[in-house]
Structure 1
Amino acid sequence: MSRQIVADQQNENMEWGRYLHENAYARDKKEVAWDSIKMDTLSKRQGELVVAEVKKTSSYLKSAKMQVLFYLYNLKLAGVDAVGELRFPEEKRREEVELDAAAELEIQEAVRNIRYIMAQELPPEPVKIKFCGKCAYQELCWA
């Protein structure tokens, strides 16, 4: 992404994600771009700003949580208080995401690692992991 390489937009998971994004949670404001991030939905609940990310499945829960935590962290740096939520419409469930002190440290470490990789002249050698089979970037790594 730092090199403006775009995922395969015809990937079935990308297409399904777009469908969910367009059709789930109709009452919420959709895809809000702020700074360098795009949040799936924004809403207010009992006076709190709720930043939510809509996912097809909870299979990749850790990465989904990190995404929401990244949004919350950036909003906090800008002086905006918000709470986070993961939404899984196919599973009919939601999960709260809280930016506590431990999560903030984890996000800061992840950002440092990402910046280190971005600064390298060449990307690291690919390592096959469980995410590779459905990844919209797989041809880039394994072609």
Structure 2
Amino acid sequence: MRYEDRISIGGTLVWYYYICKREVWLIGHGIEAEQENDYILLGRYIQEIFYTRKRKEIMIDNTIKIDILPGRKVIGEIKKSSKFLESAKMQVVFYLYYMKREKGIDMEGVLLIPEERKRIKVSLTPELEREIEEVIEDIGRILKLEKPPKAVKIPYCKKCAYRSMCWA
């Protein structure tokens, strides 16, 4: 099954999949988080001030928005910290998978964490390709649910912009 035949899944849903399945459902159903949340605002600020000359944001198929590092076939993704490194890595893996499967372009990826001065290379291995295919299928299953998955208290909840929807 081609990606385009599935429910529209973007990198943000993949990122949240590794943190909170309930949040995947909420975002996937167009339920917006509190936009004035300090952590959302900080993430936007970091995205805007770092690497402005070294990247170009590109929307592809009105589905994914990636940062391309000029002069190279490299997808860059900026994060404010390495706290959720696995989810950030898999978001880049998703972008690499999408470009390979839907556009026929093999690329490399890099996670950029400016405040920690980290630059982590990400490659699409056969193992990661299988994992991301399973994740895409499971996200599709979650999005088809009539109601969101039950809230599960995790450390991330303290700073989550959806906190009031789960714990009010």
Matches within 5 A, 1:1-143: 1-35=27-61, 36-39=63-66, 41-45=67-71, 48-77=72-101, 78-143=103-168
Q: CA deviation at 1:32?
A: 2.0
Q: What percent identity do the matched residue pairs reach?
A: 44
List, as ranges, runs of 4+ consecutive aligned residues in structure 1 with deviation greater than 6 Å.
Answer: none
Is 2:74–2:108's contact at 8 Å kept on the other side of the alignment? yes
Aligned to 2:10: none
**Post-superposition CA distance 1:70-127 (Å, at most 9, x none):** 1111111121221111000000110001110011111011111111111111111110
Question: Residues of 1 paired with 2:157 and 2:134: CA distance?
Answer: 23
SS in 1 for 2:34: coil
Gaps of 5+ in 1: none
TM-score calculated relative to the size of structure 1: 0.91
Count of residue pairs brought into register by the alignment: 140
Q: CA deviation at 1:44?
A: 3.6
TM-score calculated relative to the size of structure 2: 0.78
| AA in 1 matched with 2:58 | V
Question: Residues of 1 paired with 2:161 and 2:47: CA distance?
Answer: 17
CA-atom RMSD, angstroms?
Answer: 1.3
- Structure with more relative contact order (C-alpha pairs < 8 Å, separation 6 or more): 2
Gaps of 5+ in 2: 1-26
Question: Residues of 2 paired with 1:80 and 1:133: CA distance?
Answer: 39
